[in-house]
A = this chain, B = another copy of it.
Amino acid sequence: MPVQVPKYMYVKSKIKEWAATGEIRPGEQVPTEHQLAEQFQMSRQTIRMAMNELEHEGVLYRVQGRGTFLSNGFLSGKGTDISHRIIAVVTTYISDYIFPPIIRGIETRLSQDGYSMLLLSTNNDHQKESQALESILQTPIDGIILEPTKSSHYNPNTRKFLSILARRIPIVMLHGSYVELGLPCVRLDDEEGGALATEHLHSLGHKKIGVLMKTDDIQGKLRFRGFMRMSTRMGIDILPEWIRFSSTEETDENVSQYAKMIAGVKSEERPTALLCYNDALAAKLLSAFLELGISVPDDLSVLSFDDSHLAEVNHLTSVKHPKYDMGVKAADRILTSVRIRQHNSKETVDDYIYPTELSIRSSTKRIATHSPSKMP
């Protein structure tokens, strides 16, 4: 007696057969669970199991409220082994701040190998990330470059990521990782950046350092960790009343409050220097200071991260970000991952962590010798 194949496997092979013979064409709807259950005289449970597996193999895709369709990737029975020459690029933002040069770097490197980009942004919002992943699951792509969304929170989209990985679509992370997925990441050494920034302020005589940090991303946590480490090493006191953490949504309000707090106390009661999460936050702070008559660097020094055009315009001392080069590096790594996958190789792609350096401008200066921190 031949080994009996489980029913759901039979259903799977029939659907694949229809696809291979052109009975259903890519993009066309397949019969509903109910119709298939009738046709095969099987339980809907069994049909669902078959459909789920086909979905995870990338043969079928579902559209909420519309039905299940044959994937474009399914041609002549080859499943997802075809190269579509498309890489999905999912970032928190696309056209603002440091993102244009990063994306230009990605595009330049991808186009060298004849790949195009599918660009999606999450606005640092989990719901939008979920929608982006839905789009990706319905589009024939070869790989993904992804910047995580609120990476220091629990990620509600983990199962969507697993569905992508189950289809053997490689992912390279940008700027930070989701710990649980352990995917290769191209990023800055944010902790060292925080330490370097703190060391620079200390070298200018600053011992009372305020911090304005964003903490919904792992980058902010690591930058702060670097600040804490260097403060301990240099004997700099931690001033909890001058340390403020904000989510993306709270940043504007907190920056404006913080500026008012600074303006509200005498100069000897203020921190002498401020470490900011990034140039965008620092630029907001500077414009609040301008209105309040606080002068940088005369009243206090300000240092931030990313060395963006905002740092140039505002003369901010800032931790450098490789931008274009980071885009090239991320693209390079996803192309390698795609090749590894196509050859079914066991190779893996490593993290790439950029060392940090400072771009020193006029927002930081040596503390005046009559400062209160020098008093007996």
Interface string of A44-57 (1 = CB under 8 A from B): 01100100100010
The verdict on A233 contacting B181 (CB below 8 Å), with A6-B268, A6-B269, A154-B153 known, is no
Interface string of A267-279 (1 = CB under 8 A from B): 0110000000000
Kindly list the 6 A-B residue pairs having the minimum CB-CB distance in the complex, ordered from nearest.
A180-B221, A162-B240, A182-B225, A6-B268, A166-B238, A179-B221
Give complex CA distance A269, B158 in Å. Answer: 23
Give complex CA distance A213, B159 in Å. Answer: 12
Which one of B191, B216, B239, B265 contacts A166 once the chains associate, using CB atoms below 8 Å?
A: B239
Flag if A265 contacts B49 (CB, 8 Å): yes
Which one of B52, B162, B346 contacts A238 once the chains associate, using CB atoms below 8 Å?
A: B162
CB-CB under 8 A from A191, the residues of chain B are 182
The verdict on A240 contacting B56 (CB below 8 Å), with A3-B376, A215-B154, A216-B154 known, is yes
Flag if B268 contacts A225 (CB, 8 Å): no
Flag if A240 contacts B180 (CB, 8 Å): no
Q: Does chain B have a CB within 8 A of A366?
A: no
Report how many copies the assembly holds.
2
Give complex CA distance A124, B68 in Å. Answer: 41
CB-CB under 8 A from A288, the residues of chain B are none
Q: What's the interface size class on A, roughly? A: 35 or more
A–B complex contacts, Cβ < 8 Å, 23 sampled: A6-B268, A8-B268, A8-B269, A9-B372, A45-B264, A46-B266, A158-B215, A159-B240, A163-B240, A166-B239, A166-B240, A179-B218, A179-B221, A179-B222, A180-B215, A180-B221, A180-B222, A180-B224, A180-B225, A180-B228, A182-B191, A182-B225, A233-B346
Closest to A213 in B: B180
Which one of B8, B152, B375 contacts A154 once the chains associate, using CB atoms below 8 Å?
A: B152
Give complex CA distance A45, B266 in Å. Answer: 9
Which one of B56, B158, B348 contacts A232 once the chains associate, using CB atoms below 8 Å?
A: B348
Q: Which of A84-92, A101-109, A241-249 contacts B (4 or more CB under 8 A)?
A: A241-249
